[in-house]
Amino acid sequence: MTDPRSTTRPKTLNEALVDRAIRHALYLTRLAGGEANWVSGQIPELRRQVTDAVAPIIARLEPSDIITEGDARIIGEAAQRAGQVAQEFFSRINEQSVGRLGRLAIAEIDYERRLFQRSMPVEWNFRAPSDNFARNLMRYEPIDGRTLSEWFKRLSSATATQINTELREGMLAGEDINTLLRRVRGRRENRFADGIIARSGRQAEMIVRSGVMKASNRARQEFHKQNSDVISGYSVILTLDDRTCVICVDKEAQNPWPVDSPPDPPFHVGCRCVEVAVTKSWRELGIDLDEMEPGTRKAVMDGMVGDVPDTMDYQEWFERQPTSLQKEILGPGRYEAFKKGMDVTAFADDGRILTIDQLAAMEPDLFN
């Protein structure tokens, strides 16, 4: 470890880590959007497969103002077959997601290592989890009590249940076969957004969005665990905007979290919270500041005090950022509205998406 008196920092390490965590969380939200788009692009294939499986079965239904036992068996058969198709489809999505999120976990571990190396005013021998750990992380890690695989299995079952319910309702309403099918696949004039398959697709998008946040938080948490000699605890950082929920606000209110009992975001499906480590003070790291000259001692203490930064909302954080980053986050039109006095929390993200490679490029001072 080098002499800490050789380096100073304009802000405490914990302030730097929180500042970076909020900025990185914005980019992760865009990456999650990219993963959701990836899933969305495959839903038309699921719609085709389910329609092809269900159509010949429900063609055996006879128009009636009641549902006979025979009708119920046919509807149940159609729903069961749809569930099987959905399970095969989402099983493939799950395996691909595990691989994609494993690559993200590797990148996030590398991100956190570089962040600590460049933020700490001393050299430190940081350890990192293995690539094998990162690749298989999302095969076993639960999101709100369920693994990715369990979430997708549940979605397959829910799809079958919804099809059973919708076909029964359609039969009782006297609908013909084509109208019944439209309940499943949606209407072309609505770009199929009103069908059961589209609803399942939106749920799948939410699952992979949550997977991004889980992979990121859990990978970085494992890095912190392996470097517990510099970690004293954790804080929950909210990506604050109009959609922040009371569950996440409550988790933030519990800051700082003890080092042996870290938070476990995402706290629910769709959660965008980020965990950030709180570092120890110089004295806790075994550095005797009394041996330093007074002026140097103050500079080093300013670099790493071990305190938890004061609670900072998104508006305050955003206003501290350089103009170039503000414009990049909001886009030119929303930036002008912000400059005219509109609160930044009135804006949702502008819909831009990122890939993992693009995410790395957004943090050039850490990844290059």
| 332 contact partners, CB below 8 Å, separation of at least 6 | none
- Could you read off the pLDDT of 115-151 as tens digits, one per residue? 888 877 667 789 999 999 999 999 999 998 999 999 9
Instruction: Check pLDDT > 60 for residue 318.
Output: yes
Lowest pLDDT segment from 85-99, 197-211, 283-297, 299-313: 299-313
d(C-alpha 227, C-alpha 220), whole Å: 11
- Could you read off the pLDDT of 66-110 as tens digits, one per residue? 889 999 999 999 999 999 999 999 999 999 999 999 999 999 999
Q: Which residue has the higher pLDDT, 187 or 313?
A: 187
What is the per-residue pLDDT for 287?
61
Amino acid at 305: V
What is the per-residue pLDDT for 87?
97
What is the per-residue pLDDT for 11?
55
Q: Which residue has the higher pLDDT, 264 or 10?
A: 264
Tokens of residue 256, six digits: 């700082």
What is the per-residue pLDDT for 4?
41
- Could you read off the pLDDT of 213-252 as tens digits, one per residue? 899 989 998 999 999 888 888 888 776 554 567 777 788 7
Percent of the chain with pLDDT over 70: 81
What is the per-residue pLDDT for 3?
42
Statement: the pTM of the whole predicted model exceeds 0.85: no
Cβ proximity of 29 and 349 under 8 Å = yes
d(C-alpha 146, C-alpha 144), whole Å: 6
What is the per-residue pLDDT for 365?
56
> pLDDT-derived band of residue 346, with 50, 70 and 90 as boundaries?
low
Q: How far is CA 310 from CA 32, 250, 303, 316, 342, in A?
A: 28, 16, 16, 11, 24
- Could you read off the pLDDT of 319-345 as tens digits, one per residue? 777 888 788 777 777 778 878 777 765
What is the per-residue pLDDT for 1?
43
Cα–Cα nearest to 271, from 281, 262, 279, 263: 263
Instruction: Check pLDDT > 60 for residue 167.
Output: yes
Percent of the chain with pLDDT over 90: 45
Mean pLDDT score, 162-172 = 94
Count Cβ neighbours within 10 Å for each residue of 133-170 and write b for 16 or more, e otherwise. bbbebbbebebeeebbbebbbebbebbbebbbebbbeb
Mean pLDDT score, 158-164 = 96
Residue 37 burial (CB count, 10 A): 13
Tokens of residue 201, six digits: 């697709």
